[in-house]
Amino acid sequence: MADDSKATENHSITSDNNLSLESGNEVSIDSLARQVQESLSLAKKHKFWETQPVGQFKDLGDTSLAEGPIEPPTPLSEVKQEPYNLPSPYEWTTCDLDSEDMCNEVYVLLTNNYVEDDENMFRFNYSKEFLRWALHPPGYYKSWHIGVRVKTSKKLVAFITGVPAKIRARDTVVVMAEINFLCVHKKLRSKRLAPVMIKEVTRRVHLENIWQAAYTAGVVLPTPISTCQYWHRSLNPKKLIDVGFSRLGPRMTMSRTIKLYKLPDQTVTPGFRKMEPHDVPAVTRLLRNYLKQFAVAPDFDENDVEHWLLPKEDVVDSYLVESPETHEITDFCSFYTLPSSILGNQNYSTLKAAYSYYNVSTKTPWIQLMNDALIVAKQKDFDVFNALDVMHNETFLKELKFGPGDGKLHYYLYNYRLKHVLRSSELGLVLL
């Protein structure tokens, strides 16, 4: 595979613990537990997480434990009413992203301090439009967008967020918080701010009578419900090689590599077009029907589909296939825009990456549908198209010349136990 991508993105640009998947991607519980135990040197024991209602490594494989909430809800009157104490130089602030100044502060903090790859070559660069989209879904709580300021200078130095989501775990739909954008200024990483921030966002979630959460991380914590692999499809191979995202394959020249990844100029599927507002009901039906087959997936209604999937310039793109004969909506594909800053390169400052979001194939073969998605991403000047091996994505990754990255993404549920670690193909959930 010519595209041996070094950097892989989203919450981990690379993972610090590659869990091997055994016997055709079946995760052996014993081997997972063993690898996890080995990876936790005594110095790295998760003191914080061992106090939290999350699956613990010691319980892996214990099928006597029931699925569902680990701890029952507390009466709301017993939820702590005041914020947790921060170290004395710092104070809490609630971040109103409708305010241009505040949105700018959050953008600057994340742009300079959020996730980087292990070699410090790339760093996420979420746009302000993206942040507003990600943090303002239907029913969002402003109080869940939490910042930490320095009292004296008022400088914003840390951030964490939650948004409400309905997530189905097997047959049960649970209102959860999706926790994201945990970011502490590089100079304050030793101050132990992160555990206080996690406790504070948890407290604010509890105040809304919500007791479960979902989150992802590039590192192994107690205990992943699933571990997914990032795959990358070069759209602009020369640039990717020039900036060190990819390497030239053995016995490959640049011109052969460019030829290898060349895509047609136009999409091929009859009736393939951009999603429009009037498509929301049909897309909702299609997506709900598709997501039924996965063990963990969002429970989207029309308001959610309108928010998350209606195209938004430079944020999210969605396309569907409308049968030219019956006008039925049969297939759907979508991707969101998450550029990375390229650090220390004279010629390029931004890597424009598309991330596969929700895709449904009922009539158009997967490979044809997703090749059309690659073609429109290329038309829009994306450099790379990234996808996790969740849902049915494995059916097209190799065929469409995606290469495995070196990043893993671990999925977690807070205060909710699943009996078995899920294969990535059993997961129907994509978190931003």
Contact 195, 48 (CB under 8 A): yes
Counting beta carbons within 10 angstroms of the beta carbon of residue 199, is it exposed (0 to 12), middle (13 to 18) or buried (19 or more)? middle
Segment 272-275 long-range contacts (CB within 8 Å, at least 24 positions apart): 272/319, 272/320, 272/321, 272/364, 272/372, 273/319, 273/320, 273/321, 273/322, 274/311, 274/317, 274/318, 274/319, 275/309, 275/310, 275/311, 275/318, 275/319, 275/320, 275/332, 275/334
CA atoms within 13 A on the CB side of 345: 20
Asked whether the CA dihedral 201, 202, 207, 211 is positive or negative, the reply is positive
Radius of gyration of the chain (CA): 22
- Catalytic, 432? Answer yes
How far apart are the C-alpha atoms of 66 and 87, rounded to whole Å?
A: 39
User: Euclidean distance between the first and final Cα of the chain, in Å?
Assistant: 27
The structure tokens listed for 90 are 């710092």
SS3 label, residue 413: strand
Closest alpha carbon to 369 in 312, 403, 320, 404? 320
- Going by C-alpha positions, the residue among 8, 27, 24 that lies closest to residue 16 is 8
Give the active site residue among 21, 286, 388, 432.
432
DSSP structure class, residue 21: P
99 Cβ contact partners less than 8 Å away, ≥ 6 residues apart: none
Q: Which residues contact 260 (CB under 8 A, 6 or more apart)?
A: 2, 237, 252, 401
Closest by Cα among 99, 226, 205, 118 to 160: 205
CB neighbour burial string for 75-97, b if at least 16 within 10 angstroms, e if fewer: eeeebeeeeeebeeebebbebeb
Q: How many residues does the chain have?
A: 432
Positions marked catalytic: 432
